[in-house]
């Protein structure tokens, strides 16, 4: 009986951890103030050299930020910003920008 | 008379810019056919590592051009994109970028 309770508690904690890791829109919004200077408050950048982030796929944004952080993708500006981000920060920011209205998948025809 | 002339000139210039814009769009549409094979399939994944192929519709043309150039010079790493960007001229990049930007 005690074993069952123990296992249930472990599963519960794992679920909570997983949910936290999944990225939070609200946390992302708070962390995104630095990004807004170039990428726009709504994820639509006014400076055309910088990409629109609004509506981009979450796991693509995670990939891009991770590559900036590791230096695989070499960009002087983004390197500085990404260097200090934790995995959780990247999850949160990507969750936030992916949920904004913006980019779409192009039509096939 | 002078104002008629001015008006006609403005109209002529506008027509030319419209034609140029339309040309960019139509050329870009044709040139972007290859891109659609990955970028227009909902849920389509890049693998090793796995992430969804980025959305391009509505993206800024200037950014798309800079991304294509970075792929062409291999400054930005991605084998499939290297192969696709390799043969593109400056004009091709502009046309493709204009097409995707127009899809807002």
Contact A50 B56 (CB under 8 A): no
Contact B76 A73 (CB under 8 A): yes
Q: Where are the domains of chain B?
A: 2-102
pLDDT (tens digit, 9 = 90+) per residue, A27-80? Answer: 999 999 999 999 999 999 999 999 999 999 999 999 999 999 999 999 999 999
Which residue range forms the structural domain that includes residue A32? Answer: 24-98
CA distance A26 to chain B (A): 23
Instruction: Name the residue in chain B with its Cα closest to that of A68.
Output: B76
Q: Residue A61: inside a domain, yes or no?
A: yes
Quickly state the pLDDT bin for B23 (edges 50, 70, 90): low
Q: Residue A36: inside a domain, yes or no?
A: yes
Q: Residue A54: inside a domain, yes or no?
A: yes
Q: Residue A105: inside a domain, yes or no?
A: no
When CB atoms are compared, the residue of A62, A74, A105 closest to B42 is A105
When CB atoms are compared, the residue of A45, A55, A63 closest to B49 is A63
CATH of the domain at A84: 1.10.760.10
When CB atoms are compared, the residue of A59, A60, A104 closest to B58 is A104
Q: What's the number of domains chain A is made of?
A: 1
Residue A80 burial by CB count (10 A; 0-12/13-18/19+): exposed, middle or buried? exposed
CATH of domain B2-102: 1.10.760.10
Q: Residue A16: inside a domain, yes or no?
A: no
Q: CB of B50 within 8 A of CB of A47?
A: no
What are the backbone angles phi and psi of residue B57, rounded to the nearest 5°?
A: -65, 120
pLDDT (tens digit, 9 = 90+) per residue, B43-101? Answer: 999 999 999 999 999 999 999 999 999 999 999 999 999 999 999 999 999 999 999 99
ipTM, 2 dp: 0.82
């Amino acid at each position: 009986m005690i074993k069952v309770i123990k296992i249930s508690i472990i599963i519960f904690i794992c679920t909570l951890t997983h949910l936290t890791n999944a990225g939070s829109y609200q946390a992302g919004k708070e962390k995104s103030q630095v990004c807004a200077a170039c990428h726009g408050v709504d994820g639509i950048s006014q400076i055309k050299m910088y990409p629109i982030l609004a509506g981009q796929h979450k796991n693509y944004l995670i990939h891009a930020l991770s590559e900036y952080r590791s230096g695989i993708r070499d960009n002087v500006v983004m390197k500085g910003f990404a260097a200090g981000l934790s995995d959780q920060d990247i999850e949160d920011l990507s969750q936030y920008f992916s949920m904004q209205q913006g980019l779409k998948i192009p039509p096939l025809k | 008379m002078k104002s008629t002339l001015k008006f006609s000139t403005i109209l002529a210039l506008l027509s030319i810019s419209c034609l140029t814009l339309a040309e960019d769009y139509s050329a870009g549409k044709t040139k972007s056919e290859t891109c659609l094979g990955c970028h227009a399939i909902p849920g389509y994944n890049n693998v090793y590592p796995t992430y969804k192929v980025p959305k391009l519709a509505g993206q800024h043309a200037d950014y798309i051009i800079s991304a294509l150039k970075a792929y062409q010079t291999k400054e930005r790493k991605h084998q499939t994109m290297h192969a696709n960007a390799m043969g593109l001229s400056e004009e091709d990049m502009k046309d493709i970028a204009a097409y995707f930007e127009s899809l807002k």
